Amino acid sequence: MDQVSAPADQDKRSGRLPREQRRAQLLQAAHGVFVTHGYHGAAMDEIAEAAHVSKPVLYQHFPGKRELYLALLDHHLDELTTAMLTALRSTDDNKERVTAAIRTYFEFVAADHQAYRLIFESDLLNDPDVSDRFERFNAAIADEIASAISGDTSLAQAEALLLGRTLSGMAQVSARSWLEVSDCVDQTVASDLVARLAWRGISRFPKES
């Protein structure tokens, strides 16, 4: 019993964290540095200092700044993907589905607009690995929307997919634009306005008989 608990007790006394906790701590510290300085302006020294660890500890978890940024990007995109798919699958009513999806974008922005800017306004967007991650994210959301559209209308799959991309893009751009006027436009009001606009457009397409 004592032999099993000894490493945990030793970690507590030495200030060492379990690997996953340390990784989460480093990602949180990197998030702040990347938001403040951008990818190119950030330095591993600053990230290590923000995380209160030595550089060797940082490099034990991440070989370099690029790998650290990609891990952070994966975390945020996975979080947003899960939230979006949950919203789209939360109801069979398409009007409510549109509203839920758009609200999810706005909630993500409102909860952590720095994370949103880190994802969608990065100075590393032209990097192939970054753009590939964005494409997978956008494709997953567009496919989910297209599936609902093609199942409810007479549109072909390719046409439904085009609309899926358009609706997802509308939600992204409007949520990003809302940040500029968030002091005078309530988040719920803004997302409902966009949802009404989107629904008035998509609901006009003929339904399957």
Instruction: Determine the Cα–Cα distance for residues 177 and 108; give it in Å rounded to an integer.
Output: 14
Q: What local confidence, expressed as pLDDT, does residue 208 receive? A: 60
Q: What are the tokens at 71?
A: 């891990």
Q: What are the tokens at 78?
A: 């996975």
Using alpha carbons, list the distances in angstroms from residue 23 to 32, 72, 73, 175.
15, 10, 14, 30
Helical (H) or strand (E) element with 13: helix 2-14
pTM comes to 0.80
At 8, is the pLDDT very low, low, confident or very high (cuts 50, 70, 90)? Answer: very low
Any alpha helices (H) in 89-209, and if so which ranges? 94-111, 113-120, 128-152, 157-178, 187-202
Beta-strand (E) ranges in 5-82?
none
At 6, is the pLDDT very low, low, confident or very high (cuts 50, 70, 90)? Answer: very low
Task: Say what percent of the chain tops pLDDT 90.
Answer: 54
**Mean pLDDT, residues 4-8 taken together:** 37
The upper half-sphere exposure of residue 33, i.e. CA atoms within 13 Å in the direction of its Cβ, equals 23
Give the DSSP letter of residue 181: G
pLDDT tens-digit readout, 169-179: 999 899 989 98
> Residue 153's beta-bridge partner residues?
207
Instruction: Determine the Cα–Cα distance for residues 162 and 165; give it in Å rounded to an integer.
Output: 5
